[in-house]
Amino acid sequence: MTRVKKQCTVCDKILVAKKRAPNLAYKCAGCGKVLCGKHIYSYVDGNNASITRYSLEYCLDCYRVKYPRDVFTLPAWTGGIL
């Protein structure tokens, strides 16, 4: 029986399921896509660490549906493109 490797659905990076690995696999809480750390988003509350710690992780599309009022800006180095 061969072991199936997980890949990020956005960048096709091979991921592992270990806790402290650099290629950690994340799962979107909305749609269930497998993503790498560069393509997963979670809500951050600057005033309440508990909300930040227990917030669910989403892909970009599900994050925008879940938090439509949240201002989301892309880093300058991306050129506004994901």
pLDDT per position as a tens digit, 12-33? 777 776 665 667 888 899 999 8
Residue 82 domain-assigned? no
Name the pTM for this structure: 0.69
Residue 37 domain-assigned? yes
Residue 1 domain-assigned? no
Any idea what the CATH number is for the domain that residue 24 is in?
3.30.40.10
Q: In this structure, are residues 34 and 7 in contact, taking their beta carbons and an 8 Å threshold? A: yes
Token look-up 């050129």 returns 79
* Rounded Cα distance, 58 and 39, in Å: 9
Range(s) of the domain holding residue 13: 6-70
**To the nearest whole percent, how much of the chain has pLDDT over 70?**
72
* Rounded Cα distance, 67 and 43, in Å: 8
Residue 77 domain-assigned? no
Residue 31 domain-assigned? yes
Residue 76 domain-assigned? no
Q: In this structure, are residues 59 and 68 in contact, taking their beta carbons and an 8 Å threshold? A: no
How many domains does one find in the chain? 1
